[in-house]
Each structure stands twice: as C-alpha cells, then as structure tokens.
Amino acid sequence: MTTTSTSPEGKGITGRIGEISAGDGNHQVTLDGWPLYYFDGDTVPGTIKGQGIGGVWWLLSPDGQKVTDIGR
C-alpha cells in the first residue's frame, strides 16, 4: 500500500501509522512498523486469500498486531 504522503492517516486505527520510502518517490504505508500490502488474489473487499502465505504474510488488527487465528 503506497501513498505520496509522508504523514498517512486512517480512521479507527489505534496502532502507529507511518511510512517508509518505496524507492520510486512514493511511500510504503506501515502500521506499527509492519509494511502494508495488498495481495493480488484478493480482488474484492473482505477477501483474505493471502492470509498466512509462507508463514510471513498476516492480516493486521487496527492496533497493529498480526492476526494469525482467523477461524479457518
């Protein structure tokens, strides 16, 4: 998830929102230091096909904690 802002914001987020340089003039959005990404297999809101891939890609809760138990 990239932005042109150096001060990204989000509603309902209690974790620390930040950014790191993406190297192309944009900024990678972070939540409590975790870079945020979209999974290309998730084509509609609410889809979480990328959850847990390789044991390193996780959903994050609004407070910035990784969510590993989603009831699957």
- Model pLDDT, residue 22: 85
Q: Is there a contact between 28 and 21 (Cβ–Cβ < 8 Å)?
A: yes
Q: What is the pLDDT of residue 45?
A: 86
Instruction: Tell me which residue range forms the domain holding 66.
Output: 1-72
Confidence check: pLDDT of 4 > 90 = no
Structural domain tally of the chain? 1
Determine contact, residues 71/52, Cβ cutoff 8 Å: no
pTM beyond 0.85, yes or no: no
